[in-house]
Amino acid sequence: DLAFTLEERQQLNIHGLLPPSFISQDVQVLRIMKNFERLKCDFDRYILLMDLQDRNEKLFYKVLMSDIEKFMPIVYTPTVGLACQQYSLAFRKP
């Protein structure tokens, strides 16, 4: 998680275990939003968000809450129905 400051990393004893850069969660949300908008297919957007949930659940929910009306149709009905139908294409890990 790149959102930990140097002080937080030292307090949590994780200094040196994460990349040295700090990127605020707000900037990370903006990056996800930009990638989301770049994709044209809702199924691809669904995969982007599910990959985010696997990597960083806290950031995933922050993204969802930033514009719930935009993201709910992607992570819920109707796109999740398409994802169920195309499960073999969306499946990422065993």
Domain containing residue 73: CATH number: 1.20.1370.30
pTM of the model: 0.79
In a domain, 1, yes or no: no
Q: Which of 28, 58, 1 is nearest to 9 (CA)?
A: 1
> Number of folded domains in the chain?
1
Rg for the chain, CA atoms, rounded: 15
Extract the tokens encoding 72. Answer: 């709910």
Rounded-to-integer distance, Cα 76 and Cα 68, Å: 11
In a domain, 62, yes or no: yes
C-alpha distances out from residue 68 to 8, 73, 74, 75, 87, Å: 29, 9, 10, 10, 24
Encode pLDDT of 64-74 as tens digits. 999 999 999 99
What is the extent of the structural domain holding 66?
Answer: 6-90
Average pLDDT, stretch 39-57? 94
